[in-house]
Structure 1
Amino acid sequence: MGTPTKLFLFLIWCCFLSAVNADFNITLDDSDPLIVYDPPTSWTQSSSNDLDFDGHHMLTDDPSATATLTFTGTAIYYLSPLWPYRLNTLITLDDQPPVLVSLRDHNQPVVENGPETTASQVVWSATGLDNVEHTLVISVGNGEDVAVVDGLLYVIRYFLPFVFIFCCP
């Protein structure tokens, strides 16, 4: 077998064998043990509501309480229902400045202390992260009443070195 034939066969083989990155979504409910509530006694579970992700959310009014998720991935999404009144939660990712996230449903008239009016959805996200360990902290913002944890979704990236793909015409 001559060199051109070997080269041709090698190139055909490379078309079918390639390294790829694969992204996977990991979705966590507020009751997932990966979310660390500190102190646990400061957090309470809401009553059941179909608008919450998986039926309920966690809530605190303790300004020193935190909910922490440590994850490795390239993106993180915070999910929450919306309420018909002013409600905010503070989110801090790694050493970035904290972000006060509004959970107010602006499509509804104000009803103080009313129930959720919109189903849990992505209300904050950070994408394009390096695929390294990150720390997300959820807490009560300065001058705010509560913090809410309902659902978190993060994206992990795996490097799959030997995956067959069809790339040749």
Structure 2
Amino acid sequence: MRNIVLHLFFFLGPLLFAPVLAKYRNVTVDNTDPSIQYVGDWNQCSLNIGASYDGTRNCTGQQDATATFTFTGVAIYYISPLIGNRTTVLTLDSGPSVLVNLTQAQGQNPNWAIRWGASGLDNGPHTLVNYGSSNTTSSAVGEVDAFIYTVVEQDHNLAAIVGGAVAGAAALASVGACCIFGQSLADWLRQLVCFSPICHK
């Protein structure tokens, strides 16, 4: 029983205490990116075009028009300038409709910015849809300027550093455990290399 405990601690300890090492990167997708799938009558906007990201955006007032963007990540942000008295409708992963206010108040800077976002998503595929118009409000139109989504990347350099540190700490702790159980380090290392009945005959 003593040997089993020592072996389990050595092999499973790093897995139990190793942190999840990841870094996050934001990716910006402009309205002209082919990953955005447009259905219906979408055109280049003219109102407040200078306030748009990269100087362009697509618009539509057609009710059945959609712009669909599929991405893999943990967050998504909708980018748009402010445009007079306008709103737009979004859905994420076929969820409830979200009405995003794009109305420019008096004296307000109209330049593009994040107007809506969702974070803390499962790290997997997601679908954001922008609709051409809405039955609930006459001010809703389709407005696609840009999207920003956040991807998770493994930080291999940091993982190697922390993995080495965790393995070293586990080794030191295992030596201490040998002392607690009254087993010599030499005997424990021999059993670690060959942990089977034939090695102990």
TM-score, scaled relative to structure 2 = 0.64
Please state if 1:149 is matched with 2:140.
no
Largest Rg, 1 or 2: 2
1:52-109 Cα shifts (integer Å, max 9, x gaps): 10101100010000000011110000000002x3201000001321101010012349
Do the aligned partners of 1:19 and 1:160 also contact (CA within 8 Å) in 2?
A: no
Which structure shows the bigger proportion of residues in helix conformation? 2
Alpha-carbon distance change, 138 to 19 in structure 1, aligned in 2, over 3 angstroms: same
- Counterpart position of 2:128: 136
Shift of 1:161: 5.0
Structure 2: 5+ residue runs without aligned partners? 1-13, 166-201
Structure 1: 5+ residue runs without aligned partners? 1-13, 110-116
Please state if 1:77 is matched with 2:69.
no
1:117-154 Cα shifts (integer Å, max 9, x gaps): 61110000001111111110001222335210001000
Do the aligned partners of 1:100 and 1:141 also contact (CA within 8 Å) in 2?
A: no
Aligned structure 1 segments of 4 or more residues deviating by more than 4 angstroms: 164-168
Please state if 1:91 is matched with 2:86.
no
Task: Return the alpha-carbon distance in structure 2 between the equivalents of residues 35 and 46 of structure 1.
Answer: 16
Higher relative contact order (CA 8 A, sep 6+): 1
Task: Return the alpha-carbon distance in structure 1 between the equivalents of residues 106 and 92 of structure 2.
Answer: 29
Do the aligned partners of 1:18 and 1:165 also contact (CA within 8 Å) in 2?
A: no
* SS of residue matched to 1:119: coil
Task: Return the alpha-carbon distance in structure 2 between the equivalents of residues 156 and 56 of structure 1.
Answer: 25
- Counterpart position of 2:35: 34
Shift of 1:159: 3.0
Task: Return the alpha-carbon distance in structure 2 between the equivalents of residues 82 and 151 of structure 1.
Answer: 13
- Counterpart position of 1:24: 25
- Counterpart position of 2:168: none
- Counterpart position of 1:100: 99
More deviation, 143-152/125-134: 143-152
Shift of 1:165: 4.4
Shift of 1:33: 0.5
Do the aligned partners of 1:88 and 1:141 also contact (CA within 8 Å) in 2?
A: no
Do the aligned partners of 1:52 and 1:150 also contact (CA within 8 Å) in 2?
A: yes
Amino acid aligned to 1:80: S
* SS of residue matched to 1:97: coil
Shift of 1:164: 4.2
Task: Return the alpha-carbon distance in structure 2 between the equivalents of residues 96 and 46 of structure 1.
Answer: 27
Aligned length: 144
Overall identity of the aligned pairs, in % = 37
Task: Return the alpha-carbon distance in structure 2 between the equivalents of residues 74 and 50 of structure 1.
Answer: 30
Do the aligned partners of 1:19 and 1:159 also contact (CA within 8 Å) in 2?
A: no
Task: Return the alpha-carbon distance in structure 1 between the equivalents of residues 19 and 134 of structure 2.
Answer: 47
TM-score, scaled relative to structure 1 = 0.75
- Counterpart position of 1:49: 49
Task: Return the alpha-carbon distance in structure 1 between the equivalents of residues 96 and 19 of structure 2.
Answer: 40
